[in-house]
Structure 1
Amino acid sequence: MAEAKPAGQAWSDPDAGWSLPAWTYSDPEFFDAEVARVIRPSWQIVCHESDVPATGDFHTLDYVGESVVVVRTRDGGINGFTNVCRHRGARLLDGPSGCAKKIVCPYHAWTYDLDGRLTGLPMRETYALDPSKHGLAPVEVEIWRGFIFVRLEGGGPSVAEMMAPYEAEVAPYRFEELSAFGRVTLRPRPVNWKNVGDNYSDGLHIAVAHPGLKRLMGKGYGVEASEYVDKMWGPIVERPSADLSERAYQHFLPPVPHLPPERQRLWTYFKLWPNIAFDIYPDQIDFMQWLPVSPTETLIREIAYCLPDGRREMKAARYLNWRINRQVNAEDTTLIARVQQGMASQSFTVGPLSEQEVALRNFCRKIRHILPESRQHRAPLPGWSRRPHGVFLND
């Protein structure tokens, strides 16, 4: 493993060498507090600008009890709103994507323009309201290198600020020019959302539990952590793999003209606080997010993007990439289930973290800072989040 860089030390964590306690991975009250203090104020990825190319094109994202829609406006911009009519709270737009020149509520036909303004109100004279004050509820939108993010509540850094330490590494991949390669997949998992993220940033299990990645990367897998982003990486070795799909990927992966030499055969992963990841390959780019559903349920949402490339070798490499990572995903699914099951034991509270587990240390530090009750190794009495000593702290 390459040398790991320590995360920022804005707050001194007395439990820096320990994981979060097991009870925080199943406790309903802690889950509600996380949704309020971690997920709602965080950025969530919706889609890429290429997914909404024309006026009225929209994508929706449902998470933590909210439905959010992003839509291409008449002036070419992107707006984001909660997908909720201001009359009776009905859901406005159905499905993950579509096109609507106007947004019309299917319940009472309240009509909104693409900028969120209320423009149509049947029986207007019977309502004592100012239409200008009853437009769709906006959500914060940020476009970072072509990807569209939304945030239900503000206060933290932008996506650009979080990714600033790695902009030079990302720039050659021409994110802004990507288009979808495949479709969005949704994979429910019976585990707490943190278990998915912990596993993603865990570099120590690669050599043990992912024999395919070990064959492809040898001993070159590395991990580092900045304040809001974990970075993992591994170069594809020259020695042919014993596995047919892996060996074929090594063989067929063609040179990529827009990438510098050191990135021609490098796999890089970025995890953005708290639950989004980009898998960056020479042949394609994937995004992945793990959306909390309940204390012990998570929905993994992901899709691949790529640049136009009609070469047969590139088509083969992209297919083989999918085959390789399908096996990695299956291995990870088993691993996170084992952890979730094991955490139910009363014998387990917290686990020691290696000095090399910098990404996990950084994540645990931030959670302990935002949710101080997570410093307790055993679950506090119910109602802790409503008591004075359960006050939350913010970064």
Structure 2
Amino acid sequence: MLDRPGKSARMRRPQEERREQLLEAAMEAIARHGLSNVTLEKVAKLAGLTAGMVNFHFTSKQDLLAATIGRLADEHREACEAAVAPHAGKPVEAIMALLAVNFDKTIATPVKLAVWTAFWGESGARADYMAVCGASDRAYQDAVRALVADLVATAGVAVDARSAALGLCGLVDNLWQEALVEGEAFDHAAGLELCRLYLKNLFPSLFAADPPQDKAAETEDLSEEERDYLARLTLPAWTYRDAAFSAAEVERVHLPAWHVLCHVGELPTPGDYVTMEVLGKRVLAMRGEDGAVRVFHNVCRHRAHAIAPHRQGHTDTVLQCPYHAWCYDTQGVLRGIAASRTFPKLDKANLGLFPVDSEIFCGFVFVRFAPGGASVAERYAPYAEELAPYAIADMVPISDYWQGTVEADWKNVWDNYLEDYHFPVGHPGLSALMAKDYDREPDHATRTIRLSHVMREEVRGDWSTRMYARLLLASEHLPPAQRRRWSYFYMYPGVAIETFPDQVDFYHITPLGPGRSRIRWRSYGPRQADRQLEAVQYLGQRINFGVHHEDNALIESVQENLNAGTYERGVLSDKEVNVRALHDWVRQDMPQAR
């Protein structure tokens, strides 16, 4: 049987509890009013105690404020020491445990962060802050620096430990400020993941793997209905507007991905070239004298000027850099150096244009800026049989090249593109042309999606829609099931090949930063087209441009609300299974989005 506490212990407990009440109230008062506007009366009122009780525990306002920040410092120090202790000799685990403390939801609360910020920000409080917290702050920074030094030694990389540690501490401070501004909307897990990515940039061999995600443990106590609901939740709104997240997406999602540059029909003869600017890269596809199409970085080896100045062009012999007249042949080999005698001896064979990883699929020239991963042909393999009858590789351009900007995040653009739920209201013209049935077929193995719908037997709508259906040819080169069908073949993250009975086009989306994207498009058709086919192609493009303008209005409206901070998440219907697949792939690549 336990001994009953004595009288002194029973008296001490209420006093300790009241002191804690007052410290909690002091934090709340600082968060609401700032340090200079805090009074003992305000603290007493928030605590539900008398002013005399405040004076009993604290002799002055300065004494109360010092005790308040001291309590936070002790809490943080004790939590850090407890987190690191089990990981002695394991710097990766230790530093991640230390960082996790800074994003613990009991440590980095909006109120506590407001208190820290108040003491940092008011010059009159800095001396008090350093008197209470100076030693613990220095100990924390020394611990971070020691762990970073251990990481340097373990990885064997040339990284300055002090600057790396200061950078990491600065990142945590910056994220704390962000958490203070965003309040309850701040994603603590995402903050921790950004710190991991910072360390991954410095020590890729140590932080290469994504943190484990124990999904089974997270949902084992949930019902099937609850698990289904959670699986249908959209990406959080902050992932569509956060600058750091957007920059990380470029590195992890878009640079390693395949991007469509052009079609071989735009390069009919040797010396023809097409350029593209994407993700800060400038690239050039050119047909060589040997007939092969090659892709290079559009950058001179001398002083980095662009070799090809136009979107599309031709050279009979060599491409001459407009800056200093260095010349490259159609296979990217350096052939001439102006004033060559003023240079030391140069090996021209090793000064050709920088090559870019490329692949030609269905006549489309694809590029990527980080090698590895499946080829375009492997990604599109589930649809090879369906694409083959269109003979896309033999087509030629039938429209001007189009490029534009949309004030919407790239994910927002594809969220809209990949679902038909909005068709009846958002696209009345398209709904008048197409039957209600819509194929939605994500392929998780290849991260591709097939979307497809067939035209109505009796087409309604405006003049363009009705005339398109009336003039559409039999398209006998296509199987019967494809002769009145529009299909779209999306390849994550940014490309779609769109097939119609009369033409084929590409649709390419790349990020220009959070909440902003670039759209590229061009259409291609058979080499021989009579006037009726040309009319059908014109009408088809007219219909699709109408859909494009409608979509832009929709997604820009969505982006404004994603930016505003009111909306956080939505839930997806069965009609939005493709959006769910897209979001799953983003979460796989960007774990902080979970």
TM bucket, shorter chain:
0.7 to 0.9
Instruction: Summarize the alignment of residues 130-279 of structure 1 with structure 2, pairs less than 5 Å apart.
Output: 130-227=347-444, 228-279=447-498
Task: Please report how far the alpha carbon of residue 114 of structure 1 lies from its aligned counterpart in structure 2 after TM superposition.
Answer: 2.4
**Does the aligned pair in 1 maintain the 2:418–2:579 contact within 8 Å?**
yes
Q: Deviations over 1:85-141 (max 9, x none)?
A: 112111111111111221222222222222222222333563365333322111011
Matched, 1:77 2:296: no
2:539 pairs with one of 308, 314, 320: 320
- Between Structure 1 and Structure 2, the one with more helix by share is 2
**Which SS does the other structure have where 2:325 is aligned?**
coil
**Residues of 2 paired with 1:43 and 1:124: CA distance?**
42
**Residues of 2 paired with 1:340 and 1:21: CA distance?**
13
**Does the aligned pair in 2 maintain the 1:232–1:268 contact within 8 Å?**
yes
Q: Deviations over 1:58-99 (max 9, x none)?
A: 000101111100110111111111101112111111111111
**Residues of 2 paired with 1:244 and 1:103: CA distance?**
48
**Residues of 2 paired with 1:362 and 1:256: CA distance?**
33
User: Which residue of 1 is the match for residue 524 of structure 2?
Assistant: 305
**Residues of 2 paired with 1:310 and 1:22: CA distance?**
47
- Whichever residue aligns with residue 237 of structure 2, its letter is A
User: Which residue of 1 is the match for residue 570 of structure 2?
Assistant: 351
User: Which residue of 2 is the match for residue 54 of structure 1?
Assistant: 269
User: Which residue of 1 is the match for residue 505 of structure 2?
Assistant: 286
User: Which residue of 2 is the match for residue 384 of structure 1?
Assistant: none
Task: Please report how far the alpha carbon of residue 154 of structure 1 lies from its aligned counterpart in structure 2 after TM superposition.
Answer: 1.2
Task: Please report how far the alpha carbon of residue 12 of structure 1 lies from its aligned counterpart in structure 2 after TM superposition.
Answer: 8.9
**Residues of 1 paired with 2:214 and 2:528: CA distance?**
48
Count residues in correspondence.
365
Task: Please report how far the alpha carbon of residue 368 of structure 1 lies from its aligned counterpart in structure 2 after TM superposition.
Answer: 1.1
1:89 pairs with one of 304, 307, 315: 304
User: Which residue of 2 is the match for residue 119 of structure 1?
Assistant: 335
**Residues of 2 paired with 1:103 and 1:304: CA distance?**
28
**Residues of 2 paired with 1:295 and 1:178: CA distance?**
36
Task: Please report how far the alpha carbon of residue 306 of structure 1 lies from its aligned counterpart in structure 2 after TM superposition.
Answer: 0.5
User: Which residue of 1 is the match for residue 325 of structure 2?
Assistant: 109
- Whichever residue aligns with residue 593 of structure 2, its letter is S
**Which SS does the other structure have where 1:167 is aligned?**
helix
**Does the aligned pair in 2 maintain the 1:44–1:149 contact within 8 Å?**
yes
| Higher relative contact order, chain-length normalized (CA < 8 Å, sep 6+) | 1
Task: Please report how far the alpha carbon of residue 226 of structure 1 lies from its aligned counterpart in structure 2 after TM superposition.
Answer: 0.9
Farther off after superposition, 194-203 or 240-249: 240-249
Q: Deviations over 1:218-247 (max 9, x none)?
A: 312221111321111111111131422211
Task: Please report how far the alpha carbon of residue 309 of structure 1 lies from its aligned counterpart in structure 2 after TM superposition.
Answer: 4.4
**Which SS does the other structure have where 2:397 is aligned?**
strand
Farther off after superposition, 290-299 or 28-37: 290-299
Farther off after superposition, 160-169 or 183-192: 183-192
User: Which residue of 2 is the match for residue 381 of structure 1?
Assistant: none
Judged with a 3 Å threshold, the aligned counterparts in structure 2 of structure 1 residues 154 and 12 are, in CA distance, closer, same or farther, namely: farther
Q: Deviations over 1:151-183 (max 9, x none)?
A: 111112111001100011111111111000011
**Residues of 1 paired with 2:589 and 2:483: CA distance?**
39
User: Which residue of 1 is the match for residue 238 of structure 2?
Assistant: 23
Farther off after superposition, 62-71 or 287-296: 287-296
User: Which residue of 2 is the match for residue 336 of structure 1?
Assistant: 555
**Residues of 1 paired with 2:354 and 2:440: CA distance?**
40
Task: Please report how far the alpha carbon of residue 49 of structure 1 lies from its aligned counterpart in structure 2 after TM superposition.
Answer: 0.9
- Whichever residue aligns with residue 28 of structure 1, its letter is A
Matched, 1:65 2:275: no
**Does the aligned pair in 1 maintain the 2:434–2:459 contact within 8 Å?**
no
**Does the aligned pair in 2 maintain the 1:44–1:276 contact within 8 Å?**
yes
**Residues of 2 paired with 1:124 and 1:137: CA distance?**
24
Farther off after superposition, 352-361 or 20-29: 352-361
User: Which residue of 2 is the match for residue 7 of structure 1?
Assistant: none
Farther off after superposition, 46-55 or 216-225: 216-225
- Whichever residue aligns with residue 150 of structure 1, its letter is V
**Residues of 2 paired with 1:200 and 1:268: CA distance?**
12
**Residues of 1 paired with 2:254 and 2:496: CA distance?**
15
- Between Structure 1 and Structure 2, the one with more strand by share is 1
**Which SS does the other structure have where 1:325 is aligned?**
helix
User: Which residue of 2 is the match for residue 379 of structure 1?
Assistant: none
Task: Please report how far the alpha carbon of residue 297 of structure 1 lies from its aligned counterpart in structure 2 after TM superposition.
Answer: 1.9
**Residues of 1 paired with 2:345 and 2:531: CA distance?**
64
Judged with a 3 Å threshold, the aligned counterparts in structure 2 of structure 1 residues 124 and 18 are, in CA distance, closer, same or farther, namely: farther
- Whichever residue aligns with residue 94 of structure 1, its letter is P
Matched, 1:366 2:589: no
- Whichever residue aligns with residue 298 of structure 1, its letter is S
Q: Deviations over 1:226-279 (max 9, x none)?
A: 132111111111113142221111111111120111111111111111111122
**Residues of 1 paired with 2:259 and 2:344: CA distance?**
36
**Does the aligned pair in 2 maintain the 1:269–1:278 contact within 8 Å?**
yes
Q: Which has the larger radius of gyration?
A: 2
TM-score normalized by structure 2? 0.59
User: Percent sequence identity over matched residues?
Assistant: 38
**Residues of 2 paired with 1:81 and 1:54: CA distance?**
18
**Does the aligned pair in 1 maintain the 2:429–2:461 contact within 8 Å?**
no
- Whichever residue aligns with residue 522 of structure 2, its letter is I
Structural RMSD (CA): 1.8
- Whichever residue aligns with residue 321 of structure 2, its letter is C
